Amino acid sequence: MPTLTGISPHVNILRQNAIMVAEQKRMHDLLSEKKEDLPTEIARKVREDIETFSQEQGNITLSAFQSFQSILLEKMDDRLNGLGSSSAATGAGGVVTVTPKNSQQICWADGSFHRLPEDFVLPRAKFKSAFEMWWSGTTTANFGIPALRFIERSDFSNLKMRNKFSSDWALLFRHLSEKN
């Protein structure tokens, strides 16, 4: 049984309505202040959530790759050059000039000298292996392949390998180097 208070029911409804109107006005004012920042804030939060989810799933994300790239380039620069970015290593225009550590030349059957064996074939490689070959090369029992960034088209005897090197490997890694 309801308790009798002597206040008619419509007064209580009007009181609740006044509270709701005040709360709506407060929320409207709050959103009006943040209206400009809201879309960018939502987009930033969604990007963060996608990035976190992708990393948890083991996927490579753009920011993770850029971070990996800058750290790796820094370490490779120090390791390969032994110079870092000191002013002693800079050439004209402040560009760091680096000579390949493995500059041995191989004599091909036609008497010309090149950095790669005449029968060298670019391997099918995952990105990590390709990146290592581009920056540091490989070493076998009897010959070390120099870092592919020092190789030129003329160092390949096979036209197919020349084209693959120019259109796939060199294009990709030079583009990545420019982005850094």
d(CA 90, CA 80): 15
* 66-99 pLDDT, tens digit each: 777 788 777 776 666 554 444 344 444 444 444 4
When pLDDT is averaged across residues 156-167 and rounded to a whole number, the result is: 88
152 phi/psi in degrees, rounded to 5: -115, 165
The torsion of the CA quartet 108, 114, 115, 117, rounded to 10 degrees, works out to -20
CA distances from 38 to 24, 41, 43, 87, 139 (A): 18, 5, 9, 47, 55
Q: Which residues contact 99 (CB under 8 A, 6 or more apart)?
A: none
pLDDT at 19: 92
Instruction: Using the predicted structure, report yes or no on whether residue 38 has a pLDDT greater than 80.
Output: no
Residue 42 pLDDT > 60: yes
Confidence of residue 52 (pLDDT cuts 50, 70, 90): confident
Alpha carbon distance 151, 115 (integer Å):
7
pTM: 0.41
